[in-house]
Structure 1
Amino acid sequence: MSRIGKKSSSDGETTPQAPLVNESIRESKSRFPKPGSRKESIDPKTTDSQSQDKTPKTISLDFAKTLTSETELGSRMQENEWFLRKLGRKAVNKCLDLNNCRLTAVDVTETVALLPSLPDLENLDISWNDVIGGNLHVFTQQMHLVSKLKILRLGSCRLTAEDVRALGEALKVLPELEELNLSWNSKVGGNLPLILQTLQEGSKIQTLELVDCTLTSEDGVFVGQLLPRLQNLEVLNLSINRNIGGSLNSIAHGLKSTSNLKVLKLHSCGLSQKSVKLLDAAFRYLCELRTLDLSCNKELGGGFEDTAGLATLEHLEGLDLHQCSLTADDVLSLTPVIPLFSSLQELDLSANKEMGSSSENLLSRLRFLPALKSLIISNCALESETFTALAEASIHLPALKIVNLSWNKCIGGNLKLLLEMLKRSMSLQVLRLSSCALVTEDMAVLASVIQTGHLTRLQKLDLSYNDSICEAGWTIFCQNLWLLKELTELDISLRPSTFRKCGQWFRHLLSAVTKLPKITEIGMKRWLLSASQEEELQGFDQDQRSSIHFDHGGFQ
């Protein structure tokens, strides 16, 4: 539910701002004359007897109409408020958010009935409501009533081809539109020109999201031709449209005209080695780019050689290259480039297994990224030398909040190499070490760091799929777990093929959890509970802590 905004009153205090529907009532009332106001304005000296006889009747008639209009308006507003309250939402601060409300056909009709009451509406979100599909025309026919709309979100609404055509016409009456989200609507694919061809040069569109819309290669060509008209564009997300890779030449050419672009996402778009070259030529024109996502394009591998354009993105804050099949030559080319991104805050190189033996120099240079907050290098087949280089570089990354090194087996028995990083990263909130072949010695290292108070801000800890940790390791860990006062999620699940009995450490776990005020989720799948442990857990659930979910997959 949206929160009611606040505004300053004349005496400097803050007072709640009423929902927009209430504001409309007050504004409408203020336009109606007060009783007697017209009569007092009549000058008896200039009015003959005939007009004096008629005036009271006229006033009475107008006043009756006013009362009727006001009554109807008030009644309509009450109905609108009741409708929104039924959905658990409010129209607040020029925003109507009905995202994922499970609207029915009747709800759609009632929502449209709201529009005349919201002439200043700027944000309309009706995403994730299947019933919109086939019924969007009910909205588009009334779009002229909310011509000030700046944000329109229609993600996952099962739009039909007819909806798409209707939307194209509706955009003509929305000259102030700044954000359009049509993601997860497959019928947009092949019909994109019908929607966006009305956007002219000088369009105010700043955000265009078309994720998983089954865009065709022809749609990709159209996007490339459209981009030069969108001079204000800041966010472009074409992710999960696997057929646009073939038209990237057109898209890349269009990107050269979007100098204000700050976010470019082409996740899983069927890009190839050639695509990297085309994009690299466009990067030179995107001096304001902050976020670049080229992830899950498995054919990119080998395309990053000689990427001089990438090096010009000096303001880059987020770079996602996970699952791009990076080769040793790619890593070699990226080694002198990534350290140039001094403002980089998020880096994801996951699922590039050839990095394991070739990324020592690259990882050692991460020390030149002092602003880095999120580092994800899971499933990269790191080897001893590369992990050592990463551990040494991580000491120089005090801003780290998220570290994900899961599925790198070399960490097992070597967690002590991260000891200094764990001590210095006072901001660390998420630590994922799933399937790292951790052993009891590693748990002792982790326990010592917790005991000395260096992970006080940790919120999520993933130690799942580390089946080689013995009873003593889990015991020492659980004995110190209670010190992580900010912890909300813990996962110690076993592999799908492994089942083990819980030892005495389970009692320490329950004891620690009673001292963790924010914990809500504990994953411990495939750990088998004895009859007495089952009773302990059931008793725990009944003892004021029912909000904590133990995900153990049922008693075995």
Structure 2
Amino acid sequence: MACIELPKVKPGRDKPGVMPLDLEMDLKSNMEDSDWFLRKLCGRAADTGLDLNSYGLTAVDVKETGGALEMTPELEELSLSWNSQVGGKLPRVLHTFQQGSKIRTLELVDCALTSQDGVFVGHLLPKLQSLQVFDLSNNRNIGSCLEVIAQGLRSASGLKELKLRSCGLSQKSIRLLDGVFASLDVLRILDLSCNKELGGGFEDVPAQLASLKHLEVLDLHQCSLTAGDVTSLTQIIPLLSNLEELDLSSNRDVGGSSENLLCRLRFLPALKSLLINSCALQSEAFAALADASVYLPALEILNLSWNKCVGGNLELLQQTLHLSRLLRVLRLSSCSLVTEDVVLLASVIQSGHLATLQKLDLSYNDGICDAGWAILCQNLCFLKELTELDISLRPSSSQDCGQWFSHLLCAVTQLPVITEIEMRRWVIPALQERELDCFTQDHQREIRFDHGGFQRAAL
């Protein structure tokens, strides 16, 4: 237990050397509070891990945390994420970490870290030779001290996960990290997402990124990637043959310059998750993606939402949908889908080629007629593994449900694991609402029909 120094008290006249009773009681209470907090931390620590995520640490708690860490020398996993009081006090908390520390996981997400904290981390990293997981995400001041952190990362040769999401990274940051990648040859996960000033940083720079031969996850969403970035990444990403997850979403300049990159995704046979939503894809880029996706047999998650060029062109993905044996998540929200698109999708579903689908998002596609919804709903019964369906309308829209709603209820009775149906802003006629009420009463399964925005049609 951390030692608590007793205050010096002047001896009283009647009882020399004895402190006043009220001061003694206050001191005892403070000691008990401190002991309780330390015992509480040690109680949360497993043999090798201490998880204080979202623990609401106060400034006093943070002051005592270093003592708790000193009492757990075998600690291998530490998470202090989402505790803003850690910011500015990190050296006080982690000062017990010495050369040869056994720590393997260090997570400091959204801790309001200062640039001084970042400098301390940079100097600390060479002592953490066992470090495998390092997460500094959501600390905006990290970018200003990345040079020191990058220097420290050169010593973290066993690092498998590096997450710097929303850390205020810039173009210069990519140059600094590029000099580190050659030292991180076992890295599996690299997350640089949500750094909006990073755009342009990959232009003619990331030669060492290709050295990450074991990389499985690359997350670059919302990084303001430029056409020049895409040109460089076109040379690099296809060389990452073990890549399983690629997130390029929310980079709107990608849409007009990614044709060559998307075409070369065919060289990533292990790819399981491809997120390219909100990229303003152009027709040529979508066609290139459709051609490449045929060669992705492991694909489980495909998100093309908010790319208007998909509408009217879903047939380009028909062969991929036919060949996909593992697809679990398909998101086509706000893609300007037309009736012909959902009829095609219904045909693929009926043929049994999407039997593994668990989540289907067709929301914000208001151009589909009642006949299209009816055909789709009539064939949903073939998706035996479906758990979530979203067919919500845009926030500014409102439409009457047609007879297809009855087909939807009928299909749901044949879907054994479905739990959630989003249908926001559809107007349900009174007769069909009674059908829904009867369905809810007759079926004891917990299926949540999202009534947000539902309106009762006038009688």
User: TM-score, length-normalised on structure 2?
Assistant: 0.90
Query: Counterpart of 2:194 in structure 1: which amino acid?
Result: C
User: Once the two structures are superposed, what CA deviation does each residue of 1:471-524 show, in whole Å capped at 9, x if it has no partner?
Assistant: 111011011010000000000000000000000100100000000000110000
Distance 1:310 1:460, change over 3 A: same
> Which residue of structure 2 lines up, in the alignment, with residue 427 of structure 1?
326
Counterpart for residue 555 of structure 1: 455
Distance in 1, Cα, partners of 2:299 & 2:354: 12
- The answer as to 2:263 corresponding to 1:364 is yes
Aligned to 1:505: 404
Mapping of residues 110-121 of structure 1, within 5 Å: none
Alignment match, 2:360: 461
Could you tell me which of 205, 214, 218 is aligned with 1:315?
214
Provide the residue aligned with 2:342 in structure 1.
443
1:275 aligns with 2:173: yes
1:183 paired with 2:81, answer yes
| Structure 2 residue 136 is matched with structure 1 residue 238 | yes
Cα distance in 2 between the residues matched to 1:455 and 1:545: 27
| Deviation (angstroms), 1:137 | 5.0
SS at match of 1:337: helix
Task: Determine the C-alpha separation between the residues in 1 that align with 2:444 and 2:194.
Answer: 41
CA contact under 8 A between 1:232 and 1:260: conserved in structure 2? yes
Pairing 1:329–2:228 present: yes
| Pair 1:421–1:136, CA change in 2 (3 A) | farther
CA distance in 2, matches of 1:147, 1:529: 52
Q: Aligned-pair distance for 1:146?
A: 9.3
1:246-257 alignment runs, 5 A limit: 246-257=144-155
Residue in structure 2 matched with residue 386 of structure 1 by the alignment = 285
Shift of 1:170: 1.5
What corresponds to 2:188 in structure 1? 290
Structure 2 counterpart of 1:150: 48
Residue 392 of structure 2 corresponds to which residue in structure 1? 493
Which amino acid letter does the alignment assign opposite residue 228 of structure 2?
A: D
Question: 1:138: Cα distance to partner?
Answer: 1.5
Equivalence map 1:1-150=2 (5 Å): 138-141=36-39, 149-150=47-48
Q: What is the aligned counterpart of 1:340 among 239, 243, 263?
A: 239
Task: After TM superposition, give the deviation of residue 169 of structure 1 in Å.
Answer: 1.2
Amino acid across the alignment from 1:299: E
Distance 1:280 1:223 in 2: 19
SS in 2 for 1:288: coil
Change (3 A) 1:543 1:201: same
Post-superposition Cα deviations, 1:267-306, rounded to whole Å, max 9, x if no partner, equal 0000000001001101110001000000000000000022
Q: Distance in 2 between matches of 1:137 and 1:191?
A: 21
Given that 2:44 and 2:50 are in contact with CA atoms closer than 8 Å, whether structure 1 keeps it comes out as no
Post-superposition Cα deviations, 1:358-386, rounded to whole Å, max 9, x if no partner, equal 00000000000000000000000001000
Distance change (3 Å), C-alpha of 1:147 and 1:427: closer
Which stretches in structure 2 are left out of the alignment for 5+ residues?
1-31
Higher relative contact order, structure no. (Cα contacts within 8 Å, ≥ 6 residues apart) = 2
Q: Deviations over 1:384-438 (max 9, x none)?
A: 0000000000000010110000000000000000001111111000000000000
Q: Are residues 247 and 394 of structure 1, via their aligned partners in 2, closer, same or farther at CA, if it must alter by over 3 Å?
A: same
TM-score by length of 1: 0.75
Equivalent residues of 2:133, 2:160 under 8 A apart: yes
How far, CA to CA, are the matches of 2:262 and 2:228 in structure 1?
Answer: 15
> How many equivalent pairs are there?
423
Q: Distance in 2 between matches of 1:161 and 1:504?
A: 60
How far apart, CA to CA, are the structure 1 residues paired with 2:269 and 2:247?
Answer: 16
- Secondary structure of 2:255's aligned partner: helix
RMSD of Structure 2 on Structure 1 (CA): 1.5
How far did residue 162 of structure 1 move?
Answer: 1.3
Task: Please give the residue correspondences for 1:189-228 in structure 2 after superposition, counting only pairs within 5 Å.
Answer: 189-228=87-126
Which of residues 513, 522, 527 in structure 1 aligns to 2:421? 522
Counting aligned pairs with the same residue, the percent is: 66
> How many angstroms does 1:453 deviate by?
0.4
Which letter maps to 1:302? Answer: G
Closer, same or farther in 2 for the Cα pair 1:142/1:406, shift >3 Å?
Answer: closer
CA contact (8 A) 1:182 1:210 kept: yes
